[in-house]
A and B are shown apart, each in its own frame.
Chain A
Amino acid sequence: MKTLIHPKRRVLVQAALASALAAAMPLAVQAADFRGKTIDFVIPFPVAGGSDVWARFYVPYMTKYLPGNPTVVVKNVPGGGSTRGANEFAARAKPDGLTILGTSGSTQFPYLLGDTRVKYEYKDWTPVLASPTGGVVFVNAELGAKSAADIAVLRKARLIYGSEGATSLSLVPMLAFRQLDLPVQYVFGMKARGGARLAFERGESNIDYQTSAAYLASVVPMVKAGKAVPLFSWGVLDDKGKLARDPTFPDLPHVGEVVAAAGGRQSGLEWDTLVAFITAGFAAQKFVVLPKGTPKNIVDAYTNAFNKMQSDPEFIASKDKALGEYPQATGKAAQTIYRVATEVSPASRYWVREHLSQNYSVKFE
């Protein structure tokens, strides 16, 4: 006689099932409740600035949709290019859902590059929200290029780019320009993107990128006045983790299209590295994460809250202005994009570190 499961095994399976059920029971009953609690939303950046504004935008909706309507306060812990706040969170936060962290591209980059200041591990954390943003690369109209189709024209020009630093988000344009064989001179020490934009407006630099909101407010007027020409966007990730056009700028090609049109390949070590950093810097720029070992009921409470607020009419009405026209990923979608944004192959890491230290005096010891 044949049994599918050996009797001895059957007992084991039953026991396993029973214990699993027993373990699952309290979770099912015990929904997380934050009534009367205060949640610290740690932002590893100073007051003001992109991440702080992003967090403060979310705070009232978190209070509204988290079970028990807790008070949520933004706790700014700046320093070390955001590594300090993230390190403190990794070392101190308890998995009770009362301390959460908001990361940004500047938190992902040092982690991906293997900066010695990083004492946090993205794999330990559970993402419950991913907020993408976008960016557009544009050039001075006097260079003669009319669109990204004129890459050949730009290859002959003397291009100057104002950068905040070789390991800042400006690493992405640096890698992209390399893929496109654009001869660009980098001038460092710009004060944020605003400072770089000012240098562009003064005619000191002639190629630049701005994130979506600043592009719409300050660069579109220059484009209309015939002073600037947009080339391409950084694109967003589709469901399969592939680069696609940015919904905010559907008429602009994304960087991959331009690389392909210019005769490059959308594959290989350098391309993969570029995509990894585009994702970590833009397509999945900001995450809300929960500490290591957070129980499932708390993760679910957060996921539900972030899900539900997406259909709040007030949220919908004000979201685009504050966060851009990008879908905010939650649950599984957030986890997929999180993996792409926080994993880089050892070969990629090695290559980009070598590239930075040989060409831009960046030290990684």
Chain B
Amino acid sequence: MLDTLITALATLLTAQHLLFMGVGVVIGLAVGILPGLGGIAGLSLLLPFLYGMDAVSALAMLIGLIAVINTSDTFTSVLMGIPGSSASQATVLDGFPLAQQGQAARALGAAFSASLIGGLFGALLLTGAVLVARPIILAFSSAEMFMLAVFGMSMVGVLAGASLAKGFAACGVGLILGSIGAAPATGEERMYLGTDYLRDGLPLVVVALGLFAFPEIVDLLRLNRPIAKANKLGAGWLQGFRDTVRHWFIVLRCSGLGALVGAIPGLGGSVVDWIAYGHVVQTSRDKSKYGTGDIRGVVAPEAANNACQGGALMPTLLFGVPGSGSMAILLAGLVLLGIEPGPSMVDKNLSLTYTVVWSLAIANVVGAGICLALAGPIARLTLIPFTLIAPFMMVVITFAAFQARRDLSDLVLLLGIGLVGILLRRFGWPRPAVLIGFVLAPQAETYFYQAMQFYSWGFLTRPGVLIIAAITAVSVFLGSRSRIGEEGVVRSGAATAAAPHPGAGQRRPQILFSAGLLALFAYAVADGLKHSFLAAVFPVGVGAASLLAGGYVLWSVVGRQVDHPANQDQEVTGSHVGDPTVASPWTSFAWFGALFALAALVGYILAVAVFFVVFVRKRAARRWPMTIAYTIAMLVAVLTLGHALSLDFPRGLLQETVDLPWPIN
């Protein structure tokens, strides 16, 4: 084993192999920074070039890409508050406040070093564990997988914010959105409103972008100024490193957690950051600064999301069962290279497995190094007024959303979920709870049904289930003692009363929104009752429970004293209220809406061109030369990327009526 390990390293360390790894790393860093684009888009770019490559070069390139995405995604999360990928949403919670306080350098330093250690931890684990991981992975049957989904949902308790009932109801929203489409047990299609699009369920990318990136962009755009108030990156790279070293135990625990979540196929790496974040909040003694700039809130998710990749490679290589979207593409890449993953990866193909291990380790080091070197220039972006960054970001996330199904409906859905995201944020409904519910809904439903079929109720007494249940109980107990929301840690008693609340006459928007969510729950129940028992039991059960939680919230807002914790409205009590330079959120939203409407009329490419010119000229008030240059640069970038991904851009009414030449067809 040891000589295989060393031989694999020696093979990898040739100029050619390292060059290909470098290509992978550079693309990985780039797609990591762009919100919504991640492993799936990056690997799809490389797939056409794999055929005919030698296996070591190709593996170095693919793994190099996967390894660094969760390192560079931190830039966007920390500097702009827009998650660079779905695995670094939790980083925003403390990373962005740190950046606003002029401590961006420290936050990035801590994030990159934690990412590095997490990545190396994953590689190390893969080295040894790959030889013994088969029985461990096989020990997680459908029953244990169901309990793991429940454990994931227990994190809602700590992430719920001021009102626990809101947390439950928000999780219910996610669970219901996640159960749209085919029922796992019977294939019956639920809540699809007669559209083909919804029959396939909602794509995760669009939901995550709509919930997190979209409201953030709308919000930043209102402010009319550069992101960094402090106007400097600050010194403190070393401080960041020291933070990581000081919190070595958190880094280690979250790396382990991340690798485990990654290694269990189907649990979903897209909530690994929230699980790590929930974990670190639960286990900290002093929680007062979480949500307002606690460095531990940056270190924990960043260590976990990099370690996750090492874990995720285990089922992919050992069983040929991918744990995530990007692993599925890696798997296809392996097959194209003539490698059929399976038991042979620890036997006659062990040297290839170790090539993967070394690539993962080296790419993590190189990636963290490049990120550090680039941090200065990239951070300067936060000094530019956001009105110039906004159109770029809007085009990037619409492009990323369109990657999901390559359908105009992707954009319609993004607008819809984005609207819900804005309102959730405004009224203090925890968005992480929605996402956790959404990601875990299919897992929970499928594995519960399968466990019942395989073991009947006896599955509850399996040792693995009991152990995870005990961990979940501890997690719920810890969560019940302290909660955290968008505005930081929830204080109990007197502090709550002192916090501002909307007055008695200002509650109508909230009431309408809560009522809207109740209608969604009622719809889930009504739709569910039309189906057979196996297809109905999950949405009906979740819908009914959410009706109770949501009803309680509504009653709290309508019928009780104004200082009830459920009563929140950012547009009444937020710090920006009364500031004349802050625009209405609806004008920002309307810009998005205009882009989508244009795309539906004249197709995506023409819409982007028109939108860019108008936005930069009117909203950002730039001169014509600048406007034209910026627009052309953006169009070239979008077309190049689209061409490389062999993507047909959304067509509008115009394209349906007349034949047009490339690129506006």
List A residues at the B interface (Cβ < 8 Å): 40, 47-49, 52-53, 56-57, 59-60, 73-80, 84, 117, 160, 165-167, 185, 187-189, 191, 194-195, 197-199, 201-202, 204-205, 213-214, 216-218, 221, 318, 321-322, 360-363
**In the complex, are the beta carbons of B141 and A189 less than 8 A apart?**
no
**In the complex, are the beta carbons of A77 and B406 less than 8 A apart?**
yes
A117's nearest neighbour on chain B, judged by CB, is B196
Q: CB-CB < 8 A to B138: which residues of A? A: 198, 201-202
**CB-defined A-B contacts under 8 Å, sample of 8:** A48-B332, A52-B332, A53-B332, A84-B196, A187-B450, A213-B340, A218-B343, A363-B188
**In the complex, are the beta carbons of A80 and B200 less than 8 A apart?**
yes
Q: CB-CB < 8 A to B331: which residues of A? A: 48
Separation of A195 and B319 alpha carbons in the complex (Å): 9
Separation of A201 and B450 alpha carbons in the complex (Å): 15
**In the complex, are the beta carbons of B454 and A165 less than 8 A apart?**
no
B269 to chain A, nearest CB (A): 15
Q: Quick check: is B487 within 8 A (CB to CB) of the other chain?
A: no
Contact among B40, B44, B184, B328 with A188 in the assembled complex (CB-CB below 8 Å): B184
Given A187-B453, A202-B141, A217-B340: A361 and B535 interface contact (C-beta under 8 Å): yes
Separation of A268 and B513 alpha carbons in the complex (Å): 60
Q: Quick check: is B446 within 8 A (CB to CB) of the other chain?
A: yes
**In the complex, are the beta carbons of B186 and A188 less than 8 A apart?**
yes
- Residue-wise interface mask of B (308-337) relative to A, using a CB-CB cutoff of 8 A (1 in contact, 0 not): 000000000001111000001101110110
A49 to chain B, nearest CB (A): 6
Q: Quick check: is B219 within 8 A (CB to CB) of the other chain?
A: no
Q: Quick check: is B601 within 8 A (CB to CB) of the other chain?
A: no
Separation of A78 and B410 alpha carbons in the complex (Å): 13
Q: CB-CB < 8 A to B189: which residues of A? A: 363
**In the complex, are the beta carbons of B646 and A75 less than 8 A apart?**
yes
- Residue-wise interface mask of B (255-268) relative to A, using a CB-CB cutoff of 8 A (1 in contact, 0 not): 00000000001100
Separation of A194 and B333 alpha carbons in the complex (Å): 16
A185's nearest neighbour on chain B, judged by CB, is B453
Separation of A188 and B452 alpha carbons in the complex (Å): 12
**In the complex, are the beta carbons of B648 and A75 less than 8 A apart?**
yes
Q: Quick check: is B480 within 8 A (CB to CB) of the other chain?
A: no
Q: CB-CB < 8 A to B493: which residues of A? A: none
Q: CB-CB < 8 A to B336: which residues of A? A: 53, 56-57, 322
Q: CB-CB < 8 A to A56: which residues of B? A: 47-48, 50-51, 336
Q: CB-CB < 8 A to A321: which residues of B? A: 338, 340
Q: Quick check: is B534 within 8 A (CB to CB) of the other chain?
A: yes
Contact among B44, B329, B646 with A73 in the assembled complex (CB-CB below 8 Å): B646
Q: Quick check: is B342 within 8 A (CB to CB) of the other chain?
A: yes
Separation of A213 and B339 alpha carbons in the complex (Å): 11
B531's nearest neighbour on chain A, judged by CB, is A361
**In the complex, are the beta carbons of B187 and A216 less than 8 A apart?**
no
Given A47-B44, A188-B185: A194 and B320 interface contact (C-beta under 8 Å): yes
Q: CB-CB < 8 A to A53: which residues of B? A: 332, 335-336
Q: CB-CB < 8 A to B270: which residues of A? A: none
Q: CB-CB < 8 A to A77: which residues of B? A: 406, 648
Q: Quick check: is B617 within 8 A (CB to CB) of the other chain?
A: no
Q: Quick check: is B491 within 8 A (CB to CB) of the other chain?
A: no
**In the complex, are the beta carbons of A79 and B332 less than 8 A apart?**
no
**In the complex, are the beta carbons of B320 and A218 less than 8 A apart?**
yes
Among the interface residues B189, B449, B646, which one has the most CB atoms of the partner chain A within 10 A? B646
Q: CB-CB < 8 A to A322: which residues of B? A: 335-336, 338
Q: CB-CB < 8 A to A52: which residues of B? A: 332
List B residues at the A interface (Cβ < 8 Å): 40, 43-44, 47-48, 50-52, 137-138, 141-142, 182, 184-189, 196-197, 199-200, 265-266, 319-322, 328-329, 331-333, 335-336, 338, 340-344, 405-407, 446, 449-450, 453-454, 531-532, 534-535, 646, 648
Nearest 7 pairs of A and B residues by beta carbon = A189-B184, A48-B332, A217-B340, A217-B342, A194-B321, A218-B342, A189-B446
Separation of A202 and B407 alpha carbons in the complex (Å): 39
**In the complex, are the beta carbons of B187 and A79 less than 8 A apart?**
no
A83 to chain B, nearest CB (A): 8
A83's nearest neighbour on chain B, judged by CB, is B196
Separation of A100 and B316 alpha carbons in the complex (Å): 32
Contact among A49, A60, A78 with B52 in the assembled complex (CB-CB below 8 Å): A60
Separation of A68 and B331 alpha carbons in the complex (Å): 33
Q: CB-CB < 8 A to A74: which residues of B? A: 48, 646
Separation of A80 and B196 alpha carbons in the complex (Å): 7
Separation of A240 and B43 alpha carbons in the complex (Å): 43
Separation of A185 and B341 alpha carbons in the complex (Å): 29
Separation of A84 and B329 alpha carbons in the complex (Å): 21
Separation of A202 and B144 alpha carbons in the complex (Å): 12
Given A48-B328, A187-B454: A217 and B187 interface contact (C-beta under 8 Å): no
Separation of A221 and B532 alpha carbons in the complex (Å): 40
Given A53-B336, A322-B336: A361 and B405 interface contact (C-beta under 8 Å): no
B316's nearest neighbour on chain A, judged by CB, is A194
Separation of A57 and B142 alpha carbons in the complex (Å): 35
B200 to chain A, nearest CB (A): 6
Given A48-B331, A199-B142: A361 and B450 interface contact (C-beta under 8 Å): no
Q: CB-CB < 8 A to A166: which residues of B? A: 186-187
Contact among A117, A160, A198 with B321 in the assembled complex (CB-CB below 8 Å): A198
Contact among B265, B320, B332, B648 with A49 in the assembled complex (CB-CB below 8 Å): B332
**In the complex, are the beta carbons of A361 and B319 less than 8 A apart?**
no
Contact among B40, B137, B199, B332 with A80 in the assembled complex (CB-CB below 8 Å): B199
Q: CB-CB < 8 A to A78: which residues of B? A: 405-406
A60's nearest neighbour on chain B, judged by CB, is B51
A13 to chain B, nearest CB (A): 42
- Add 11 more A-B contacts to A47-B332, A53-B332, A53-B335 (CB < 8 A): A73-B646, A77-B648, A79-B405, A79-B407, A84-B407, A185-B453, A198-B265, A198-B321, A217-B340, A362-B188, A363-B189
Among the interface residues B199, B532, B535, which one has the most CB atoms of the partner chain A within 10 A? B199
B75 to chain A, nearest CB (A): 26
Separation of A187 and B534 alpha carbons in the complex (Å): 12
Given A78-B405, A198-B321, A202-B138: A217 and B332 interface contact (C-beta under 8 Å): no
B259 to chain A, nearest CB (A): 19
Separation of A166 and B532 alpha carbons in the complex (Å): 15
Q: CB-CB < 8 A to B184: which residues of A? A: 188-189
**In the complex, are the beta carbons of B51 and A361 less than 8 A apart?**
no
**In the complex, are the beta carbons of B196 and A217 less than 8 A apart?**
no
Among the interface residues B199, B344, B454, B532, which one has the most CB atoms of the partner chain A within 10 A? B454
Among the interface residues B321, B322, B328, B336, which one has the most CB atoms of the partner chain A within 10 A? B321
Q: CB-CB < 8 A to B454: which residues of A? A: 160, 187, 204-205
B340's nearest neighbour on chain A, judged by CB, is A217
Separation of A80 and B322 alpha carbons in the complex (Å): 21
B182's nearest neighbour on chain A, judged by CB, is A165
Given A75-B646, A84-B196: A47 and B141 interface contact (C-beta under 8 Å): no
**In the complex, are the beta carbons of B340 and A214 less than 8 A apart?**
yes
Q: CB-CB < 8 A to A213: which residues of B? A: 335, 340
Among the interface residues A79, A197, A318, which one has the most CB atoms of the partner chain B within 10 A? A79
**In the complex, are the beta carbons of A204 and B319 less than 8 A apart?**
no
Q: CB-CB < 8 A to B343: which residues of A? A: 217-218, 221
B59 to chain A, nearest CB (A): 16
**In the complex, are the beta carbons of A362 and B187 less than 8 A apart?**
yes
